[in-house]
Amino acid sequence: MKSTLDIFINRIQELQSDGDALFPEGIFPAQRTNASIGYHRPDTTMFFSAITCFTLQTIQKYCSPESQAQITAICDNVVANYPDFRNKDGLKTYNFWKTKPSRHFPNGYIFHRFEHFRIPDDIDDTAFVYLTSRPSSEELHWLKDKLALHANGTKQWIRNTYPEYKSLRAYSTWFGKNMYIEFDVSVLSNMLYCIMHYGLPLNEHDGASLQYIKSVIETDRYITAPFRCAHQYPRTPLIIYHVARLIAAFDPPALKPLKEKLIADTKRLLETGISRMDKVILSTSLMRLGIQTDRIPVENFSDADFKGFYFFIAGLLTAYENPLLYKLSHNPLFHMHWTCEAHCWTLLAEYDAIWIQTNKEAVSI
């Protein structure tokens, strides 16, 4: 009889595209939506495929031999798509959408017609490509230098943040010659995860990025104003999930003072009326931070539990540095939500794998 974890891995593999008009072979189907304007489109993005591959690789060692082989096959099929999302000039950075030619806002009617909505490569997708492939030492050091070229203060200074962060030399979300500077606590957590995973030397930009993460949590801004702290992941549960993952994996000294506060805040949030999927990612975060939790019956979840859950957004007005337009950018009317069923199942698989492992360790103590 298959375990719950095996069933989840099977379902994820079933959802991976075999190749059709919308989704190339190996890509996980995703959607972008804005319920406020009745907008819904299939989205051919690399993002969910790369983060699904990364998450599966982190739990692979806890899976059965059969599921381990499935995860390898899933990830091989994902990685085969990376060249299509690589920088248009051949640099080793990556884009949310296909680049040659640009396929921004694919499968739609309006946004893809406007150059304004074509986005540059970003450090988030780039981090996950590097984490799920085998970059050379030369490529890793090139990336580190490239990140510094686009950090705050190298060519321009950030405007859309709190005054005390404007001089922080932290990494920006975006590559791109003329792109504005943006700080996102979850994106920074992902790139720092990549940097620490490969043991790259830390510099002032890494230190400033850690300082930003530390401050938005210490000040409760990640609770009271999550959009200002994370334009792409503008919900407190998502920020907790990303920061807890970084702390659990590498325990950076700069973030050590956060651990108890993060645990207490997460416990309080779990007692509120949040969705079942948010409970899953918060419980995963607590277990990562060494806290045992009551089991969530994820084996009873269905795709109906994914309704209304989104992991990632794009704010259509965040690119504007005009204060009035930036104020409007907070309005959900100007937000696109991205969803992916396969990634939701992956979050359940991750929870199940970590819960089993955590309780095995507890029994053995």
The enclosing domain of 184 has a CATH number of: 1.50.10
Low-confidence ranges of the chain (pLDDT < 50): 109, 112-116, 315, 317, 319-320, 324-326, 328-329, 331, 333-334, 363-365
Q: So what's the pLDDT on residue 325?
A: 44
pTM, to two decimals: 0.92
Q: So what's the pLDDT on residue 332?
A: 57
CB atoms within 10 A of CB 153: 17
- Full residue range of the structural domain in which residue 347 is found: 4-364
Return the DSSP state at 271: T
Q: For the segment 301-348, what is each residue's pLDDT rounded down to a tens digit?
A: 999 999 999 998 874 545 445 554 445 445 454 458 889 999 999 999
Our measurement of the distance from residue 20's CA atom to the centroid of its chain's CA atoms, rounded to an integer in Å, reads 26
Q: So what's the pLDDT on residue 21?
A: 87
Distance separating the N- and C-terminal Cα atoms of the chain: 29
Q: So what's the pLDDT on residue 107?
A: 62
Residue in 345, 362, 278 with CA at minimum distance from that of residue 55? 345
Residue type at 178?
N
Tell me the CA distances in angstroms from 186 to 182, 242, 292, 348, one per residue in order.
Answer: 12, 5, 24, 20
Tell me the CA distances in angstroms from 147 to 127, 141, 152, 224, 237, one per residue in order.
Answer: 11, 10, 10, 29, 27
Cα(78)–Cα(100) distance, integer angstroms? 18
Q: So what's the pLDDT on residue 221?
A: 98
Residue in 40, 13, 10, 37 with CA at minimum distance from that of residue 25? 13
Q: So what's the pLDDT on residue 64?
A: 96
CB 336 within 8 A of CB 34: yes
- The domain total for the chain is 1
Q: So what's the pLDDT on residue 104?
A: 54
